[in-house]
Structures are given as structure tokens and as C-alpha cells.
A and B are shown apart, each in its own frame.
Chain A
Amino acid sequence: MDSIVSDEFLRQITAIGQVDVLVSVPTADNRHTIEHAVNAVQIGLAKYFPRERTALMNVDAQSRDGTPEIVREAAVRDFQSYLAPTPLRSSPIITASCHPSLGQAGALRLTLTAADLLRAKACAIVSPDVASLTPEWIDALLRPIYREGLDQLTPIYQRHRFAGLLVRNILAPVVGAVYGYEIEEPAPDEISFSGVLACHLLAQDVWQESFMRSGALMWLTTTALAGNFRVGQSFLGPKVFAARHFSPSLAETMQSAVGALFKSMEEHQAFWRQRTSSQAVPLFGFPVDVEIGSAHLNRKKMFEMFRSGANAISSILAEILSSPTLDAVLQAANTADDHCYFSDELWTKVVYEFAASYHRGVMNRDHLLQALIPVYRGRISSYLWENRGAHLEELRKRREVLHLEFERMKPYLIEKWFGET
């Protein structure tokens, strides 16, 4: 703890004393988008929490483009034009710095520390990479925590129907079936939580773990579920990334998101083994079913990469998957058509067997997660083929069917994970 909390940081915290609401914006070379994000947060706090003691925090990963200076100078000159009252109190800006090698974990830990020391009742983290961030997001994220007594809130975004394929096909169904809570975005860029949950999270002994560098928010979500905290979801609206947004590769995303999920499952195995059903969580906000954005997905190329990849690494897959599952995967890969059919049942078995193999340590964990990529491409190419003309409502129904399949097959996961018959 002492190594990441500087004297200057403590001095700022001491000068502020206590706050009701804290909003943190982690940055790393976000010169082009940070002013918009900070202004949106400042207006949101003034508009929706005019009487509360609020603070804005920036945790910067040693940006070299002057991001922290822009944050310090950012100020809204005219609140009236944004239909926001002039704040009764000024909202101080706390600036902190953490080493880039700490990744998400560094920013999250400093935010939790600030929330704990400032006795914040509600705290939110927002990404500076999102161009569609509005003051209303601050209200949507914080009000259910501050007023309704929830402990954690994950967002629901309005996006392109094929955006978030990894979330739809692995993260959300596994979290729903394993943890027993239907969460649409278990690894979000924006999240909010109560001061009580912040204290609980700070006390966990995971901060030196390597998976936390890129999977800290995934861990946050699952830890709240495993700790039986009150969780909810809030509809934020369209999510559009800034033009200069750095998009990680599929391999990096797989390592960070799925790696963090499997690691979290290990951390919480005593909890989820007992869960037998899933439940919906309270939803806040006003959902709008309008598709936004465009995508250029090359399904045929994806299928070809699945075909060549699965055959090339079949010996590695044989160490991870059971013989019947591997045979079915290879059969799908070697179909004579230009598309394959990857059923929900087969996909569920693949994901569960990968999770169990990750837990048993059958091979280097980074290698195991990389081995999932060719199979995932097969599943996605099948998903895109099956849903090529589907409307948003149809896609939602199919997602529910997949979630039910993951739930139905949970005993299979327990059998593979704990070695039970």
C-alpha cells in the first residue's frame, strides 16, 4: 500500500477531508479526449449532485503528452448553458500517478484508497476513451449507489449488434451461470461502487497478482457478486469510442478478460460451487433498442483461420479438451462448406473445459488462453452466419438461450473443475 500512496496524494486527501461522491478518471496519454471527460464529470456532478460534497480524481499512468496538466486546468466556465446549476461547493480535483506497469490494478487501488480515506458513499470510474460520455452517465452510475443503497453497478450500453462478441459468448454467460447473476457487461470500462464495497475490495490480497494488471474491473465485478453485495445494472446509452482510441488485439483481450475471469473463478470457487440458479439484477435507466455504429467483420476469413488454426494446434487442444469435444471441434473445422455450425452445447463444453484446464494447470496459462483463440474464431464465424439477418430482439432471445445452456451445463463444469463424477 505504502509504495503506491505518495505523500502528495495524502496531502490532497487530507485537505479535502470527506466527500459523498467520488469520480475517478484513469488516464494514459489521453490528451485528445481528457478535457471532454473531465468536463462531462464536472457538469454531471454539478447537475445531479449539487448539494453533495464531491471530488474528481485523475490517476495517471505517467502520461508523456501532458494529460495531467490538462486535467488540472480543466474547468467548466458556464454551467448555465449545460442546464446545470452553479455548484454550491467547488468539486476539487485530486491528481495521482501510478506506474504504467501496474495497469488497471494501480488505478483501481488508488481510487479505492481515496474512496476509503475520503469516506465516499458512492464512487465511479469512467473511461476517458469514450467519446459518448455525457453528464447523464454520472447520474446513471452514481444515483443507484448513493440513493438506492446498491453496492455495485455495471453499465449496459447501446452498441452495434456484433460489438462485444467476447462478452456475449464467454464473459456474460459464464458469469451468469457460475456466479448466478445476469450481468450484461461483467468487464466494463465504466463502473460504480459503494464505499463499503471499496473497503472490502481493498482488503483483498490480490493486488500483486499479474492478472490484475488488465483484469481488475472483471475481478471487481465478480468479487462483489461472490461477496453477496447488492448489485445492479444501469443503462448508459450509446457507447462510442474516441477516434484515437487504442484497441487491443484479440490475443491481448483474450489474455486479459478471459484470463481474469478464469482466475476470478479460482478465487471464488467455494462461493459458486454452491450456487444452483441465476437471478436477474435490478435495472436502472431507460433502455433504447437502436443499433449504432458499423463493423467490418470478415466471417469467411475468420472461418478459414479457425480451420487452419484448429488443425495446426490439434495436439495442444488435445491436452485441454476431452476427446469427444476435440473431435466435434475438428469436425466443425473440417466441414466442406465455407461456414461451420458451432452449437451452443459444444461451445459451452469448450469454454468449461478450457476453464477447468486453466484451473488444473495442464499447460502454461498464457498458452492455454492463446489456444482458445482459433476455437473462438470458429464459434464467432458460426454466430455471425446464424445471426446474419437477425434483429436486436432475436439476438437478445438467442443470448438468453445461450445463457440457459451455460446454466444447464454447470454440473459439467463442476465435474471437470473439481474432478467429480
Chain B
Amino acid sequence: MGDLLFKSLTETMSRLSDMVASFLPRLIAMAIIIIAGAIVAWILKVVVRRILRLIKFDQLSETTGFTRLLTQSALPSPADLLARFVFWVAWFAFLLLGLNALGIEALNNEIGRFFDVLPQIFVAILILFVGVVIANFFGRATLLGAVNANAPSPRLLSSMVRFVIIALAVTMALERIGLGQGVVLMAFSIAFGAVMFGLALAFGLGGRDAARRLLEKRFLEDKKKDDDEGISQL
């Protein structure tokens, strides 16, 4: 009995040590690949940025209007954006390579599936990018419009506009890569409906007097102007 137990333990320990002995080098290889990948990606980023600056990529982009589009959307310059993109693509590739080095079949299958949906991921990233550009543009337009109209809480209004547009872009991006299509869409619809209903209730119940004054001012006083618009500016 004692011998049998000892033998069983010895075999288990032996198998475990074999497994560790065979897995550890792969784990170390993965770590080395990921760390080396980060260093290579960083070097690539620096090199790409220098080359782009050397060829005056930002100035070239100005003629196409791309620089202005990014600047107007509060995003970094085209050269900087491209260098960052190269960094993330390179590092992500090394990350997948490292995971592949582990040799876990299930993980490899997932990585294979990931490459199948890679084109969709690029489309989703593009949707997100366009969403952020549009959100920043309309967020700023709302802020300026609200400030100049002397509307209350202009920053809140601007943030709400930005949030709604980005939420819509995220929903579309997630739907594109097939992540919880129905759930995401439904969650967005419910959240958006709740916000609108909440605002309607808040304005209707909490701000009845304000609404009345606003409507009276808008329609009954025939746009009587005072302050800075009580006289011709030109």
C-alpha cells in the first residue's frame, strides 16, 4: 500500500516536472518575445516618427486637409498618429507570436479566429476613429453655441453630445466585429431612451416655470433683444 502510494506520487511529480520542464521554456520564450517585441515596436515608432518628420509628412498632409481634420478633432499630428499606430501594430503582432509560442492548442485556435475577424476589427477601429472625430467636432460646436447663447451648463451639454456620439460609434464598432450584436444595440437603445425620458421629465416637471418663461420669451416678446445685441455691431 505504502509502496503503491509512493510510486503514484513519484509518477505524478515526475509528470508535473516534465510538464513544467516542457512549458517553462515556452513561457520564458513568450516573455522574451513580448519584451523584445515591445522594444522593437518602440524602436520602430521612433524610427517611423523621425523618418516622417524628415520627409515633412505633417506639412504634406496639410495639403490634403488631413492635418486640419486631426487638429480640429483635438487629435495628435498625422506623423505622431502613424508612429503610434506602427507601435501598437508591431507590439500586438509580437504579443500574438508570444502567445503562439506557448503551444496551447485552444489558444492557437482563438488566435486563428482572431485573424479571421481582423479585417472587421480594422473597420471597427475606423468607425471609432470617425466617431471620435465627429464627437469632438460637435462637442465643441455645442459648447461654443451654448456659451454664446448664454445657455445654462454649456460644458454638460457639450459632454452629453460627445458621449452620445461616442456611445453610438462604440455600438456600431462592436456590432461590426460581431460582439453581442443584439445586446449592445438594445443596451444603447435603452440607455439613450432613459436619458431622453429623464431629460423630458426633468424639464417638464422640475422646470415648468423655466419652460414657460422660455416659451414666452421666444414667442410672445417677439425676440426683444438687450445686452450686446441691442445695437448694431457694424
Question: Complex: how many Å from CA A164 to CA B177?
Answer: 57
Residues of the B chain whose Cβ atoms lie less than 8 Å from the Cβ of A367: 72, 140-141, 144
Q: Is the CB of B230 within 8 A of A250?
A: no
Q: Is the CB of B72 within 8 A of A363?
A: yes
Q: Nearest-CB distance from B152 to chain A (Å)?
A: 10
Q: Does B178 contact A (CB under 8 A)?
A: no
* Closest partner residue, chain B, to A374 (CB atom): B147
Interface size class of B (residues with CB under 8 A): 20 to 34
Contacts A/B (CB < 8 Å), 25 sampled: A163-B231, A164-B232, A164-B234, A167-B233, A247-B232, A250-B148, A257-B234, A296-B231, A297-B228, A297-B231, A298-B227, A298-B228, A302-B228, A305-B150, A308-B147, A312-B143, A313-B147, A316-B144, A361-B68, A362-B71, A367-B140, A367-B141, A367-B144, A377-B228, A380-B228
Question: Complex: how many Å from CA A296 to CA B230?
Answer: 5
Q: Does B155 contact A (CB under 8 A)?
A: yes
Question: Complex: how many Å from CA A370 to CA B234?
Answer: 17
Q: Nearest-CB distance from A375 to chain B (Å)?
A: 11
Q: Does A285 contact B (CB under 8 A)?
A: no
* Closest partner residue, chain B, to A373 (CB atom): B148
Residues of the B chain whose Cβ atoms lie less than 8 Å from the Cβ of A301: 226-227
Q: Which residues of A pack against B, CB within 8 Å?
A: 160, 162-167, 171, 187, 241, 247, 249-251, 253, 257, 295-298, 301-302, 305, 308-309, 312-313, 316, 361-364, 367, 370-371, 373-374, 377, 380
Q: Which 10 A-B pairs have the closest CB atoms?
A: A166-B233, A295-B231, A370-B144, A296-B230, A298-B227, A309-B147, A301-B227, A253-B233, A364-B72, A373-B148
* Closest partner residue, chain B, to A295 (CB atom): B231
With contact pairs A370-B145, A373-B148 given, residues A249 and B71 touching in the complex (Cβ less than 8 Å)? no
Q: Is the CB of B147 within 8 A of A167?
A: no
Q: Which residues of B pack against A, CB within 8 Å?
A: 68, 71-72, 137, 140-141, 143-145, 147-148, 150, 154-155, 225-234
Q: Nearest-CB distance from A86 to chain B (Å)?
A: 37
Q: Nearest-CB distance from B212 to chain A (Å)?
A: 21
Residues of the B chain whose Cβ atoms lie less than 8 Å from the Cβ of A374: 147-148
Q: Nearest-CB distance from A365 to chain B (Å)?
A: 9
Question: Complex: how many Å from CA A46 to CA B112?
Answer: 89
Q: Is the CB of B230 within 8 A of A297?
A: yes
- Of the candidates B137, B148, B230, B234, the one whose C-beta lies within 8 Å of that of A295 is B230
* Closest partner residue, chain A, to B230 (CB atom): A296
Question: Complex: how many Å from CA A308 to CA B71?
Answer: 25
Question: Complex: how many Å from CA A166 to CA B68?
Answer: 28
Q: Is the CB of A167 within 8 A of B140?
A: no
Residues of the B chain whose Cβ atoms lie less than 8 Å from the Cβ of A298: 226-228, 230
- Of the candidates A164, A241, A296, A305, the one whose C-beta lies within 8 Å of that of B233 is A164
Residues of the A chain whose Cβ atoms lie less than 8 Å from the Cβ of B228: 250, 297-298, 302, 305, 377, 380
Residues of the B chain whose Cβ atoms lie less than 8 Å from the Cβ of A297: 226-228, 230-231
Q: Is the CB of B72 within 8 A of A312?
A: no
- Of the candidates B141, B150, B154, B229, the one whose C-beta lies within 8 Å of that of A247 is B229
Q: Is the CB of B227 within 8 A of A166?
A: no
Q: Nearest-CB distance from A187 to chain B (Å)?
A: 6
Residues of the B chain whose Cβ atoms lie less than 8 Å from the Cβ of A313: 143-144, 147
Q: Which of B71, B141, B145, B148 has the most CB of A within 10 A?
A: B148
Question: Complex: how many Å from CA A380 to CA B231?
Answer: 12
Q: Is the CB of A251 within 8 A of B226?
A: no
Residues of the A chain whose Cβ atoms lie less than 8 Å from the Cβ of B143: 312-313, 316
Q: Nearest-CB distance from A245 to chain B (Å)?
A: 9
* Closest partner residue, chain B, to A366 (CB atom): B141
* Closest partner residue, chain A, to B69 (CB atom): A364
Question: Complex: how many Å from CA A308 to CA B143?
Answer: 12
Question: Complex: how many Å from CA A350 to CA B227?
Answer: 22
Residues of the B chain whose Cβ atoms lie less than 8 Å from the Cβ of A302: 227-228
Q: Is the CB of B230 within 8 A of A165?
A: no
Residues of the A chain whose Cβ atoms lie less than 8 Å from the Cβ of B68: 361
